[in-house]
Structure 1
Amino acid sequence: MPLQLASTFRDNLAEADRPLIGMWVCSGSPLVAEICAGSGLDWLLIDGEHGPLGLESIVAQLQAIAGYPITPLVRAPSGDTVIIKQYLDLGVQNLLVPMVNTGDEARAVVSAVRYPPHGVRGVGSALARGARWNRVDNYLTRADEFTSLFVQIETADAVANAAEIASVDGVDGAFVGPSDLAASMGLLGQQEHPDVVASVEQTIRTIAGLGKPVGVNAFDPSVAHRYLEAGAHFVLVGADVALLARGSEALTAKYIPSSDPAETTRASY
């Protein structure tokens, strides 16, 4: 009997009756990924851009998560065609590509995700976990059905081009990155600056107005709720490494009175 793959993040968003809440998994640990997978959250972002993740690590994390009712979205380090091919062949069904600044860049990423004649994805389904080694019936002709693509808007140029980017056929949604957006606006480390927040809200309204799902990163609960009220469809509200860092600092402050609490305060991502 042909194997069935999990529903995509695109499909989950379309069926959801509320925003989907998730967290980052940046540690590279399959054990940590599995712990987070059982949290009750809606989705996890496995971060191949800033985390210490190789191809083997991504496969192991996908396998660890597979037994839980949670959806993994995997961020590639770039929109490179070869990297995207490798990620999809590993079994990444939901791909997030960072630093997409123009409609042309978005179209190039879509091409990398799709097989010929509609794109340039290399064909190796018989060798790949993505097709379960050709155990998924008609995988080559149905690959788009099993794959969702999200692009990241995280510069001032991308905000200006948000409507064009989100309108590209094959882009299933967008994710706004306030940290890099703040840096591109000359406000490095100030992702909660009023000008940055206003740009994020503008982008959310623009993309949601086109009927495409849009998400954002927000560790501060008040900011997260503000973006949800602005119309965000999916939000990241924490990260494995940040939770461990802040939790261990709190533990230190609790049991070592001489520690300076001010030294354990860190800016959110």
Structure 2
Amino acid sequence: MELSISFPLENFSIIGIAQPDSQIYEPEKMRTPGLTAVAAKTSHVNLMTDTVIANLNPETLRAVIRSMLAGDQEGQLASTFQKHVQKYLQRDNGVLPVTASLNLHGEAPFHKTMESINNLRMRILALLGCGLPFESLEIVAGIVRHSAPLLRRVDLADEDTLLSTLAAIDADLVQASTAIQSYLMKNGNRSRLSECQVRALVELKQGLDECQRQSDAHGTEFAFERGMDMLDEILAMVKR
């Protein structure tokens, strides 16, 4: 199950440094006594590299990674990068709560709720970007389950902002569904799906149905029409 990943082909020549109020990592404080000359040299290089990584600002670190991957003619670096990202995302998916920080009872201010949803969406996009569409469904399902109650509670002035974000997540669901459809067509429908994958599809469908029911009952907008249509197509393929 693979998704294509494209990286900008910029060349970057300016290296940023950490801001003055950031934590500074200094290699002098990390030296280990008693190493051989070769080991000390290797350790020094590794410590220096780690110091650079720790002290670069995030935008510059992203730029360096993109530049390295764009110059990866054989694709080995990109493949290794993807495998490591997948490992950490899969680990976090099993540990981090999906919707624990959402404003489900109205205690948190709206901007905090939006910050939580946007952070969840970043996880969805990262999972899609490294070829893990099934793993993204749990997060989408969590947002879907709580979107109707959130829309009922949100102030009219903030409703458009929330709907716009939910529409973007609907587009992410379409992207995940497209990847899953391609996987099924390539590998033979349900025969290649695990029990967990089928359950993720079914539970998401149930969540979408309930979200639509609540939206209709309370006169709020249902934000996941396109994603629901795509999911119906997938479930039809799985049931064949």
The structure in which a higher percent of residues are strand is 1
**Structure (1 or 2) with the larger CA radius of gyration:** 2
Name the TM-score, length of structure 2 as normaliser.
Answer: 0.25
Name the TM-score, length of structure 1 as normaliser.
Answer: 0.23
The structure whose RCO (Cα within 8 Å, separation 6+) is larger is 2
The structure in which a higher percent of residues are helix is 2
